[in-house]
Amino acid sequence: MAVSENKITVKDLDFHYGEKQVLHALNLNIPPNKIFSVIGPANSGITTLLRAINRLSELSPDARARGDILLDGQSVYAPQVDVSELRRKVGMVFDVPAPLPMSIFDNIAYGPRLAKVRNKSVLAETVEGALRAAALWDEVKDRLRAPASSLSGGQQQRLCIARVLALKPEVILLDRPCSGLDPVSTAKIEDSLTELKERLTIVVSPHNIQQAGRVSDRVAFMLSGRLVEEGANAEIFSNPKDQRTSDYITGRFG
């Protein structure tokens, strides 16, 4: 099989929770090493899309999907796919930070330890590398044994990003990662995402239109579970093809 030029391909994806259809015949191509933003008003199906990519959506008992999602050209639904390994490769950060009730160090080391990493020096290097990548190391390096709960909200969110990065993912999904954060914390997360795309593919639901404009390479606009249009950042924000996209990004609705 030829290597896919896209990191993620969504093909004719329908998604239901019980009788409610949330996604309708969705098609998306997400290139590697880019920040791909998915924007839209509430109830657009964006969170469902993100959770479908690494099959977290299956944790809801009434969820069902039809269509396909490919990672590097391979279906995430293929029988041989190890869902735990898929979720390591495709990590997710949620809108509300949820640090584990343990130290800053142990939060980051938790995943590698589950993966049977026991060497203390390797764990220390992994923790430092993940915290540096999440732009948090300089703020916490002298208190790694302090409870993660002692961090500010913005620091906790960067800790959660670092916890995902410690597992060395290929993709990270971020669902409104800066909602509720102050401008300084938001800027630090945006800066770290811009650096991380050098080695990762990033799919993000930004917390506002301005953030999408600042960080995105490509943007998809969704409305009521359907893709309206997708394109390069400049195209979507300067010359959208669909009037609904123009209305949304100029604040006429949403």
Query: Do residues 60 and 247 make contact, with C-beta atoms less than 8 angstroms apart?
Result: no
User: Could you tell me the pLDDT band of residue 31, with boundaries at 50, 70 and 90?
Assistant: very high
Domains of the chain: 8-249 (3.40.50.300)
pLDDT of residue 252: 80
User: Could you tell me the pLDDT band of residue 52, with boundaries at 50, 70 and 90?
Assistant: very high
Give the mean model confidence (pLDDT) for residues 179-194. Answer: 88
CA distance 187 to 114: 32
User: Could you tell me the pLDDT band of residue 59, with boundaries at 50, 70 and 90?
Assistant: confident
CA distance 75 to 162: 27
Inform me whether the pLDDT recorded for 2 exceeds 80.
no
Kindly report the backbone phi and psi dihedral angles of residue 110, in degrees, each rounded to the nearest multiple of 5, phi listed first. Answer: -60, -50
Cα-Cα end-to-end distance for the chain: 42
User: Could you tell me the pLDDT band of residue 1, with boundaries at 50, 70 and 90?
Assistant: very low
Q: Report the predicted TM-score, pTM, of the whole model to 2 decimal places.
A: 0.92
Query: Do residues 44 and 252 make contact, with C-beta atoms less than 8 angstroms apart?
Result: no
Query: Do residues 38 and 209 make contact, with C-beta atoms less than 8 angstroms apart?
Result: no
pLDDT of residue 3: 55
DSSP assignments along 84-104, one per residue: HHHHHHEEEE-SS----SSBH
